[in-house]
């Protein structure tokens, strides 16, 4: 009897993982060009990594889309705008530092509306990561991670919300992480900030469904970007090292393409990479198994 249940468990686990990968990793039939046609799309964190590739893929797949590209590094934004070969009628370079959220972002929203008259999609992609043990992390690092990743994103999204409500249309896309579901070593406050984003935007989705506002949460696994290089260490210094897992991660072009397909399909959640889908599935249905797996990885 025990052997029977062991076999049954393995079958359920296998097909459950296959099903969740099929649904969240491989998008339903969609048409990116049709969905984004003539839309105004605002991308934060657009100077590098996933955000930069999202802008490039959008221009390639939907040439009529108008873009607002935001990040702290203005020179990198101008470099991207030049690479995209878009005129000022189709691309607005708008420097933005999420850490300055205490001043609000209404003036930034007003600049966008003055240029394009509307906002259709806000892709909240900007953020920063962490590489430090809890016991070695100073309060200032915890605070900065929450300010940038959570409060900055929330403040910008709330500044756009009245416009979405007035138009009875809008789409929030929030790039979080698999750690938004599963806390892992060396990323405690980063994981906390990503968990917070899921809580906030799950609530927003429910509160504003009748306003025809969509919310898509994006949960990447390892993506080959500079995220670990730019991560905070416990002292506040930058890590300046590429993680081995990140080095072997999903190509950011593939990641961007998966995100755009999922957004065009108006999915509630998108998992980028099979490992992300498996980890989140295990956390939901078999948390003790995942705990043991993570312990072994951490001790190896």
Work out the percent of the chain whose per-residue pLDDT is above 90. 78
Strand partners, 173: 123, 216
Q: Are 216 and 262 in contact (CB under 8 A)?
A: yes
Instruction: Flag whether pLDDT at 127 surpasses 80.
Output: yes
**CB count in 10 Å sphere of residue 274:** 14
Q: Is 150 annotated as catalytic?
A: no
* Sheet of 269-272, strand order: 91-93, 66-70, 40-44, 121-124, 170-175, 213-220, 269-272
Work out the percent of the chain whose per-residue pLDDT is above 70. 89
Calculated CA dihedral for residues 188, 194, 195, 198, nearest 10 degrees: 180
pLDDT at 31: 87
Q: Are 58 and 35 in contact (CB under 8 A)?
A: no
pLDDT tens digits along 55-113: 999 999 999 999 999 999 999 999 999 999 998 899 999 999 999 999 899 999 999 99
Q: Are 232 and 141 in contact (CB under 8 A)?
A: yes
The catalytic residue among 35, 150, 190, 281 is 190
Instruction: Flag whether pLDDT at 30 surpasses 90.
Output: no
Per-residue confidence at 293, pLDDT binned at 50, 70, 90?
confident
Average pLDDT over all residues of the chain: 91
What's the mean pLDDT in 256-263? 96
How far apart CA 22 and CA 104 sit, in angstroms, is 40
Residue with tokens 């850490």: 99
Instruction: Flag whether pLDDT at 194 surpasses 50.
Output: yes
Domains within the chain, CATH numbers bracketed: 26-272 (3.40.50.720)
Q: Are 197 and 211 in contact (CB under 8 A)?
A: no
Q: Are 217 and 174 in contact (CB under 8 A)?
A: yes
- Going by C-alpha positions, the residue among 20, 80, 18, 21 that lies closest to residue 45 is 80
């Amino acid at each position: 009897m025990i052997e029977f249940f062991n076999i049954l468990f393995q079958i359920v686990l296998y097909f459950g993982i296959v099903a969740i990968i099929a649904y969240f990793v491989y998008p339903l039939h969609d048409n990116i060009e049709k969905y984004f046609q003539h839309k105004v799309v605002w991308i934060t964190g657009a100077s590098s990594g996933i955000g930069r590739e999202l802008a490039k893929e959008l221009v390639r797949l939907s040439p009529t889309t108008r873009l607002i590209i935001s990040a702290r590094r203005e020179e990198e934004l101008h470099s991207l705008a030049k690479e995209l070969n878009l005129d000022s009628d189709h691309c607005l370079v708008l420097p933005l530092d999420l850490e300055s959220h205490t001043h609000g972002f209404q003036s930034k929203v007003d600049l966008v509306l003055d240029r394009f008259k509307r906002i259709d999609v806000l892709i909240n992609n900007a953020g920063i990561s962490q590489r430090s043990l809890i016991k070695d992390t100073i309060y200032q690092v915890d605070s900065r991670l929450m300010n940038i990743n959570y409060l900055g994103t929330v403040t910008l999204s709330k500044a756009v919300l009245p416009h979405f409500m007035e138009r009875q249309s809008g789409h929030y896309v929030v790039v979080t992480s698999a750690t938004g579901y599963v806390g892992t070593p060396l990323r405690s406050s980063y994981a906390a900030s990503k968990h917070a984003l899921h809580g906030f935007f799950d609530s927003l989705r429910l509160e504003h469904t009748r306003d025809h506002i969509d919310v898509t949460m994006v949960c990447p696994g390892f993506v080959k970007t500079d995220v670990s290089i730019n991560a905070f260490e416990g002292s506040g210094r930058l890590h300046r090292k590429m993680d081995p897992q990140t080095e072997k991660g999903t190509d950011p072009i593939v990641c961007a393409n998966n995100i755009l397909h999922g957004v065009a399909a108006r999915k509630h959640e998108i998992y980028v990479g099979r490992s992300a889908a498996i980890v989140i599935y295990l956390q939901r249905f078999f948390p003790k198994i995942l705990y043991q797996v993570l312990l072994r990885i951490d001790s190896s």
